[in-house]
Structure 1
Amino acid sequence: MADYIHELRTLVGHRPLILNTAAGALLDDQNRLLLQERADTGDWSFPGGYMEFGASFAETCQREYLEDAGLEVEPVRLIKLFDKDFYTYPNGDQTQLITALYLVRQTGGQLLDHVTDETVQVKYFPLDDLPPLFNDQSVKMAQAVIDDVRAHV
């Protein structure tokens, strides 16, 4: 995946790209949300990432969750599709992020317990006490999870 995005960026530089991503919302038995502290910005976000060529949103969510959080997950249902959010990365890369946010359940794996290229740590947070989130889309995603939890209580 990184090679695909890197290859595109060598062709277009920092110009705007529309990129597909998928993320998962995993809640524990106390309705606390698992978030990833990002290595690139120090902010928190949902485990997730860019879609690889030929993958589905659900497959992307599963792959990225394992990479970012150490957990095998299964998408339960689509919470929401976010399709009009823009972000400029610190290096100047401009994106419109099309993100599928799934409610997921854990099927295996263990919480990541070491620093990686993308993750400093993963941690559960109460929905009413979330840390500083990565970008506006992450804030909207958190609100969608809160709304989803309220609707399914």
Structure 2
Amino acid sequence: MANYIQEIRALVGHKPIILNTAAGILVNERNQVLLNLRTDTHNWSLPGGYLEYGETYAEGCVREYKEDSGLDVKIIDRIDIFDRGEVHYPNGDVAQTISALYLVEAVGGATLDHATNETLGLDYFDFDNLPPLLNQQTADMLATAKTYLAHRA
């Protein structure tokens, strides 16, 4: 079902709703994480986004990662589920997000070199020197990923 969230929003307006999301952690050889600068809120988040009706978290992560970054990724591991997160969008929409976080590996594609309707830019950041983030859930996801990666090494 295409544009599932738009259809829901048409029915409920800006009323707070619960939505499922998936995001990926991709690190470079310097152990920096790839983040995207969002067009809607003008802050940084992990490539990822809302699931479409019928998608699994893993399928949504792969699809959204491609949309947000230009990269084709494969899932390496599920890191955790995050269910304490709220996003207030500039248009007035409010959503509690339940997010699955995955460790991903790039397997194709190319990092976007131009702005899209969702991404203004992409960059790698040190886990200890992050830019302004979308919300507390994004910060929690990055902190958990940092710990996860340290134990994985």
> Structure 1-normalised TM-score?
0.96
The whole-number CA distance in structure 2 between the counterparts of 1:2 and 1:120 is 24
Output the CA distance in 2 between the equivalents of 1:41 and 1:88: 9
* Cα distance in 1 for residues equivalent to 2:107 and 2:3: 28
Counterpart in the other structure of 1:25:
25
84-93 or 137-146: which moved more? 84-93
Structure 1 unaligned runs (5+)?
none
Aligned residue for 2:142?
A: 142
Name the structure 2 match of 1:77: 77
CA distance in 1, matches of 2:43, 2:13: 25
Q: Distance in 2 between matches of 1:39 and 1:86?
A: 18
86-95 or 126-135, larger mean C-alpha shift: 86-95
Distance 2:65 2:94 in 1: 24
| Partner Cα distance (2:2, 2:68) in 1 | 14
Give 4+ residue runs of structure 1 displaced > 4 Å after superposition.
none
- The one-letter amino acid paired with 2:67 is E
- Report the secondary structure of 1:84's partner residue: coil
> Take 1:124 and 1:18, find their aligned partners in 2: how far apart are those partners?
30
Structure 2 stretches lacking a partner, 5+ long: none
Mapped contact 2:41–2:89 kept (Cα < 8 A): no
What's the offset of the Cα at 1:93?
A: 1.2
- What does residue 92 of structure 1 align with? 92
Once the two structures are aligned, what percentage of the paired residues are identical? 50
Task: Tell me the secondary structure at the aligned position of residue 8 of structure 2.
Answer: helix
Give the deviation of 1:41 after TM superposition: 1.5
Amino acid of the residue matched to residue 25 of structure 2? A
Matches of residues 2-151 of structure 1 in structure 2 within 5 Å? 3-151=3-151
CA distance in 1, matches of 2:41, 2:90: 8
Q: Secondary structure at the match of 2:84?
A: strand
Q: How many residues align?
A: 153
